[in-house]
Amino acid sequence: MTELASSRPPRRQFRNINAFTDLTTYRLPPAGIVSILHRISGAIMFLLMPFIIWMFDTSVSSEISFARFKAAFNAGIGYAPGWFLKLVALALIWAFLHHFIAGLRHLWMDTSHAATSKDFSRKSAVLVLVLSIALTVVLGAKLFGLY
């Protein structure tokens, strides 16, 4: 028994992460990044709910309010310039797209037992990141009038 125990390599030790020394060098896997961004995107959508309601209300109330809505995004409102409102809208676009795509990923993983492997987790997390950023870039280009 002692010969067998001595021939094995030492077991890997797991320890807690020190926030002051280890956090800058810790490599989070893509699934962890997607999970954290899923929570952040949900918080962004929740906190900016008054802005979402204002955008929806002013865009569908009447033709005059829609003209004011377009003017707000072009010229700005009060101290907020138009480009800043467009950046806030772009943040909402990213938050929605990321939250939606990551939510579909989580639903797929909950319903399919084959989707719980480490390889699928990594690949699907990278796909969520690529899709959400690519769609945000496309819609952001439309928002800022590039096409």
The predicted structure's pLDDT at residue 124: 94
| Pairwise CA distance, residues 72 & 66, whole Å | 10
Task: Give domain limits for the chain.
Answer: 29-49+76-143
The predicted structure's pLDDT at residue 45: 95
The predicted structure's pLDDT at residue 53: 93
The predicted structure's pLDDT at residue 6: 64
In the chain (147 residues long), the average pLDDT of successive 10-residue segments reads: 65 75 81 94 95 89 90 88 92 96 93 82 95 97 91
The predicted structure's pLDDT at residue 110: 87
The predicted structure's pLDDT at residue 87: 93
The predicted structure's pLDDT at residue 147: 86
The predicted structure's pLDDT at residue 134: 97
The HSE-up count of residue 47 (CA atoms within 13 Å, CB side) is 11
| Pairwise CA distance, residues 63 & 54, whole Å | 15
The predicted structure's pLDDT at residue 1: 52
3-state secondary structure at position 80:
strand
The predicted structure's pLDDT at residue 5: 57
Three-state SS sequence of 6-64: HHCCCCCCCCCCCCCCCCCCCCCCHHHHHHHHHHHHHHHHHHCHHHHHHHHHHHHCCHH
CATH of 29-49+76-143, one of 1.10.1040.10, 1.10.10.1100, 1.20.1300.10, 3.40.228.10: 1.20.1300.10
